[in-house]
Amino acid sequence: MTTQLHPLLHEAHITFIGGGNMGRALIGGLLTSGLPAKQIAVVEPFSATAEKLRADFGIVVLDSIDALKLDSSVVQIVVLAIKPQDFKQVASALAPHLKSLPPQQLLIISIAAGIRLSSMTRWLAHARCVRAMPNTPALIGMGITGLCADASVDGAGRSQAEAICNAVGQSVWVQDETLIDSVTALSGSGPAYVFAFLEALQSGGEKLGLDAASAKALAYATLQGAAQLAINSSDSASTLREKVTSKGGTTAAALAILQEKDWQGILETALAAAAKRGKAMGDELAS
């Protein structure tokens, strides 16, 4: 999936702290969208990862935050693509490098799960922060990201953050930061639920006598096709379900079992558990 580069990114310089899978996905998406490699830098301490980033993308790669020099003459966007447990330490090291920049010239975006805006702004001593929750389909340009911004982030800052996330898919904004836990439960963790469903669908096919390769092909293509059909249709998911369910037919027999086992209720309970854990992580990491 290729998106057109947002005009507000043309004059910005983007520095990634962390060049792991998600950082790499965002860098690749931005370059594919048309952002010149000279406008991207990444701080990556692991030499093997750093060398691959240089070789694949032709961008500036620094081995530590100490080597970072941010030019105050252009808009600077810093994307923190690091593990949540490393955030406070990294933020403390980064904060001194941000002091020389005019506040309106600097935007911080974090994709670290569980790190709240209040913690970000305190540790970085900077208010213009955006919290982002992407998911793993971003690795193939089909991700979706939940976004929430501090009140000091203006429309331009929001557009810049959205443009960066949209380089690997699409995004949605939530106004209440507590809803990021809901985003995490639904879309952040969602791919794992889909993979679990695929496992069960394939396993069920094998138990009905299909060989593993055939069961996998049928399960994967069915999920892909059904999802695309739903995306392309103006009908709701419930209407589409009703359209393929003939009274007394095979689909009705299968759905009756799912309803008997309260399949929807189980999934809703699972999402609630994920959201609860997301809130708990935020509490644990805030100190």
For 122-178, the pLDDT digits (tens) are: 999 999 999 999 999 999 999 999 999 999 999 999 999 999 999 999 999 999 999
- Over residues 30-47, the pLDDT tens digits come to 999 999 999 999 999 999
C-alpha to C-alpha distance for 246 and 251, rounded to whole angstroms: 7
Instruction: Say yes or no to pLDDT of 1 above 90.
Output: no
C-alpha to C-alpha distance for 40 and 31, rounded to whole angstroms: 9
- Over residues 70-126, the pLDDT tens digits come to 999 999 999 999 999 999 999 999 999 999 899 999 999 999 999 999 999 999 999
Q: Where are the domains of the chain?
A: 7-182
Contacts of the segment 274-278: beta carbons below 8 A, 24+ positions apart = 274/184, 274/185, 274/189, 275/181, 275/182, 275/184, 275/185, 276/181, 278/113, 278/114, 278/180, 278/181, 278/184, 278/185
Q: With pLDDT > 90 as the criterion, what percentage of the chain qualifies?
A: 95
Mean pLDDT of 207-232: 98
In this prediction, residue 212 carries a pLDDT of 98
In this prediction, residue 3 carries a pLDDT of 63
Q: Encoding tokens for residue 192?
A: 């794992």
Instruction: Say yes or no to pLDDT of 249 above 60.
Output: yes
CATH class of 7-182: alpha beta
Half-sphere exposure of 31 (CA within 13 A, CB side): 15
Instruction: Say yes or no to pLDDT of 278 above 70.
Output: yes
Mean pLDDT of 1-16: 81
